[in-house]
Structure 1
Amino acid sequence: MDPHLLRTFVAVLDHRSFSLAASALGYTQSAVSQHIAALEADLGTRLVERRPVAATPAGARLMEHAPALLLRLEAARADLARLHRAPSDRLTLACSPAALGAPVARALARLRASARVDVEVRVVGREAVIEEVLTARADLGLLDGVAAPSDPLPLPDLGPTVTLAASEGPLAVIFPDGHPLAERDAVRLTDLAQAQWIDSPDTAVPLDRLRAVCGADGFRPRFRHLGTDIHGLAALAAADHGLAVLPLPLAAALPGVTAVPVRHPRLVHRTELLHPADPSTPARRLTGLLTHRDGSRVHEDAD
């Protein structure tokens, strides 16, 4: 399967247009049509309906594989390029929103105090963190999610990328100030399954993850919040658009909402650090600070 043809296939279905895909890829529309026809001939099945542009059942199944296949190819190219890189005093850190907090900021301060390092921090969605590290656009990634205590996050196959635990801490549901449940000492997530929720997959705990860990239906979105703006999410919750689950230290500092700890099920907010098998010197130093390998202790719920 030719990756160039596969990339064109993904672009056509992402844009739902042959002409827009051609513009995005820098091809002619005729070339895009030829690529799709060649891929269909290779696989022996029709993949794209032309009018209107949409995936056939076979095309929809291929789309389940295509993005991951293309990412792994790009990751392999980036991994080989790292073998020939020159030493650098620059560090690019990709973080999901709830993974970037005071402990990370303190670790970065210690890194810069011990060595001259130019640092760039990018706050992106969870899937984008993985992509940034795999494709060498970032030296390190910090990715957050929920898990049982000491369990790893459920991540896809990352090839030679190394995954290390960075921190674990408590979770909380955010309620509007004055909400009847905001006075409680703790809540059970299963008791809130039929409440109104904000679906914020890159900022809060994704609702499909809550359904999975609670083993319960519900957690249906009343409102969707896309992006990485935690304060925007808090403003929506404060205006009674729905509930969301965040790490407790972060939630407690947000205006207009009350953070109530999650008592059941027994879950933690977990942050994991991703880096290539051969990290740069600044990345290796920051990894030591974040995973306590330098003798320090950096807790998620530290003051």
Structure 2
Amino acid sequence: MEQVSGTFTIDLRRLTVLRELQRRGSLARTAEALRLTPSAVSQQLAALAREAGVPLTEREGRGVRLTGQARVLLAHADAIAAQLERARADLAAYGEGGRGSVTVGCFSSGILGLLPPVLRDLGERLPQVRVDVVEAEPPDLFTALDSGQVDVAVAVDFAKAPPHTDDRYSREDLFTDVLDLVVPAGHRLVGQGPVGLRELARDAWIVGAAESCCGAVARSVCAAAGFTPDVRHAVNDWGALAALVEAGQGVALIPRLVRDLYVRRRVVVLETAGEPAARNVFAAVRAGSDGDAVLGVVRDQLRTAGQAWAVGG
């Protein structure tokens, strides 16, 4: 392959494909995330390699893996993306933050419990700005954030979320959302005082799908308690999940963010021994966008709502 020339130029859109391949780990998953064909992804990567003058992928079994040169380029890609985001933020600030719209991506229970007061307050503080909400979870949420389809991501820390050290994002923790242990009204442990989660190891469990944030977190919490839950029902809708608990079909960990969906049902929230199960909720924007006036207001309202949950949730 040719050496890098003095007129080195690359297509920034192709860098997005490379960044997504780093996140997804395969051409097929990258193509699915970007709504392209695997062939188109391969062509974009090949064109980027020609522009860069270095190999970016190499065969590994039936798939591909990133080369060392690709990882060097990705480090610069993150810096380039952050600098472009700062330029956009500076332009928005020059226009006094008068951008017409902002899109918030958020997980389902966050939309139910966290966003309503945020959206009401944003309507008062930014009456000329349209605020859209998209339901999404990692990794798709951060693909949308990278591509500009989402401006602010609100997510839960779990295996598919980016690590705290990911320099592509400016993030801040909002609050800790407790997961209540909810059982049917006639459950054998009702009235027995604080219980250890492992005491329910032989119960039927109602848990979200394994790939969802709450499904993954619930399984992780049970694993940390020393058992694998017997999942009888995989349900992502919190109202439906609470109804199944009420019907005696199993026990569940339900986030307090959606407590309005279960406190009026014939279920019991058991007090757990030790620290209750919980998940960390955070907000993230693209690195370099901290100076954006509109995003600053959105982040401020999310912070305020998070503090309210930390105190009263």
**Normalization by structure 1: what TM-score?**
0.65
Q: Counterpart of 2:163 in 1: which secondary structure?
A: coil
Distance, in Å, in 1 between the alignment partners of 2:184 and 2:74 is 40
Distance, in Å, in 1 between the alignment partners of 2:219 and 2:75 is 25
Q: Residues 281 and 241 (structure 1 numbering): CA distance in 2 closer, same or farther, change over 3 Å?
A: farther
Residue number in structure 1 paired with 2:122: 111
Residue number in structure 2 paired with 1:195: 203
Superposition deviation, residue 274 in structure 1? 1.5
1:247 counterpart letter in structure 2: P
Aligned positions of 1:3-14 closer than 5 A: 10-12=26-28
Say if 1:93 and 1:122, in contact at 8 Å, map to a contact too.
yes
Superposition deviation, residue 244 in structure 1? 2.4
Superposition deviation, residue 105 in structure 1? 1.6
Q: Residues 253 and 9 (structure 1 numbering): CA distance in 2 closer, same or farther, change over 3 Å?
A: closer
- Extract unaligned runs of 5+ from structure 1: 36-40, 49-54, 147-152
Distance, in Å, in 1 between the alignment partners of 2:196 and 2:217 is 17
Q: Counterpart of 1:91 in 2: which secondary structure?
A: strand
Distance, in Å, in 2 between the alignment partners of 1:27 and 1:130 is 23
Distance, in Å, in 1 between the alignment partners of 2:197 and 2:73 is 37
Superposition deviation, residue 206 in structure 1? 2.5
Say if 1:160 and 1:276, in contact at 8 Å, map to a contact too.
yes
Deviates more, 1:250-259 or 1:99-108: 250-259
Residue number in structure 2 paired with 1:82: 85
Residue number in structure 2 paired with 1:286: 298
Identical-pair percentage: 16
> Does residue 1:132 correspond to 2:144, yes or no?
yes
Distance, in Å, in 1 between the alignment partners of 2:72 and 2:270 is 40
Superposition deviation, residue 112 in structure 1? 1.5
Residue number in structure 2 paired with 1:174: 182
Distance, in Å, in 2 between the alignment partners of 1:24 and 1:154 is 23
Superposition deviation, residue 101 in structure 1? 4.0
Match of 1:47 among 46, 56, 61: 61
Residue number in structure 2 paired with 1:244: 252
Q: Residues 298 and 191 (structure 1 numbering): CA distance in 2 closer, same or farther, change over 3 Å?
A: same
Q: Residues 297 and 42 (structure 1 numbering): CA distance in 2 closer, same or farther, change over 3 Å?
A: closer
Residue number in structure 1 paired with 2:267: 258
**Normalization by structure 2: what TM-score?**
0.63
Q: Residues 179 and 263 (structure 1 numbering): CA distance in 2 closer, same or farther, change over 3 Å?
A: closer
Superposition deviation, residue 70 in structure 1? 12
Q: Residue by residue, what CA displacement relative to the aligned partner does 1:182-234 show, whole Å, maximum 9, x if unpaired?
A: 556654222223322233133456344214543x1322433333x5x322333
2:286 counterpart letter in structure 1: P
Say if 1:234 and 1:257, in contact at 8 Å, map to a contact too.
no
Distance, in Å, in 1 between the alignment partners of 2:76 and 2:223 is 30
Aligned residues: 268
Match of 1:275 among 275, 281, 285: 285
Q: CA RMSD in A?
A: 4.7
Distance, in Å, in 1 between the alignment partners of 2:285 and 2:153 is 6
1:82 counterpart letter in structure 2: E
> Does residue 1:120 correspond to 2:132, yes or no?
yes
Q: Residues 145 and 184 (structure 1 numbering): CA distance in 2 closer, same or farther, change over 3 Å?
A: farther
Distance, in Å, in 2 between the alignment partners of 1:194 and 1:212 is 13
1:114 counterpart letter in structure 2: R
Distance, in Å, in 2 between the alignment partners of 1:140 and 1:271 is 13
Q: Residues 246 and 73 (structure 1 numbering): CA distance in 2 closer, same or farther, change over 3 Å?
A: farther
Superposition deviation, residue 120 in structure 1? 0.8
Q: Residue by residue, what CA displacement relative to the aligned partner does 1:14-50 show, whole Å, maximum 9, x if unpaired?
A: 99xxxx9xx951749x989x99xxxxx99776512xx
Residue number in structure 2 paired with 1:150: none
Q: Residues 165 and 10 (structure 1 numbering): CA distance in 2 closer, same or farther, change over 3 Å?
A: closer
Q: Counterpart of 1:263 in 2: which secondary structure?
A: coil
Say if 2:156 and 2:213, in contact at 8 Å, map to a contact too.
no
The runs of 4+ residues in structure 1 deviating greater than 6 Å are: 2-6, 41-44, 68-77
Residue number in structure 1 paired with 2:50: none
> Does residue 1:298 correspond to 2:312, yes or no?
no
